[in-house]
Structure 1
Amino acid sequence: MLSALQIPRTAAVPAERRRHHRMKVVLLGRYMLPNRMEYPCQTIDISPGGVHLAAPAKAAPGERVIVYLEHLGRIEGLCVRTTLEGFAMTITATSRKREKFTAQLTWLANHEELGLPEDRRHERIAPRNPRSILFMEDGSEHVVRVIDISLSGAAITTDVDLPIGAAVRIGSTPARIVRPFDGGFGLEFRFPLSADLLDENLEL
């Protein structure tokens, strides 16, 4: 699949896609097309310059696509062609962000090859201000304490008995309750946070 983003020799090949080695890293995510419809997706292969997505709704060549991928956060770019599985797109990023993106991809590729445990994929940090508000679908609000945050979720403590699977909002971040633990609950964000935003000063 490493050649999945290549296009026929008769077509113009953007220089960006020639400069980067594509890695077989499988990441789940969601994407939004210009009509603002959202769909689930999965990476087939990815590089700092482009990504090939398995996707139920195909973007048209030239259309702008916004993608949220687990571990990597938000990326955006232009569809370059459709494929049997979905479509391939460029990734638009500054030089600094691309360098960080490259390091993340290399780590993820090595991680998969080594078979490290899933729960070690995300760095967890303790926020400087742990107090946050949990908003429920029924309109109720609960003050909670955030124990730690990762790119894909958070752990909170609360005295409230929360329903597993419920859609919630922690501050301004959409999430769902995925598991209980002694004294609290684990939340999974609807879209992974950008690595650029993950620091101890983050307010959800």
Structure 2
Amino acid sequence: MSAIDLSVPQFRPVIETEQDRRKYQRVDLELEGCFLDEASEDHQLVTENLSCSGAYLRAATVPEAGANVICYFDDLGRVAGTVVRTSKDGFAVEFNVVPHKRKKLADRLSWLINKDLIEVPEQRAAARFPTGGPAFIGRKDGLQIPCTVVDISLTGASFETNGQSQPPPIGEVVTAGNLRGRVVRSGENEFAVNFLRPDEDDV
């Protein structure tokens, strides 16, 4: 099995914490879908950006501000919302969801973004997603560690070594392709990292 190429030049980690900021930070993600207006008429849409609390949608038909819509997104599912802002070629919608549904949306967005990052097939929707794919992790001394990706979320990932390489210590900044992450857990044959923002220092 060949190792996964983790190089994604334009990827930008945009969420800083699992608990709070990932719930509301919008990410650029293009999904096709449709929405039902208040007359139950169907219209095509494409997302420009979205979060678990709302989205900006491009559409040929733009409902009025304050209108209630039901959106159907490919790979994300059905979400009810209210139009909060409009433009000539699209509109912003605020999702009307309960906290449990909001968390599921956040988890699902984590997967949709990172599944392309590490080029692994989708398996299930959860807060962290198992992958089982191989990868190489670069240490600060230049050593490349062959690993298996155990799971990944929007803010970090965990890895398992083959037993022949020593996991990096807690606090070390490692690389996976063009991504950088700080080791936050290190055991006998496994370790976990939190992704760093592009403007975040290694120290």
TM-score by length of 2: 0.47
User: Larger relative CO (CA 8 A, sep 6+): 1 or 2?
Assistant: 2
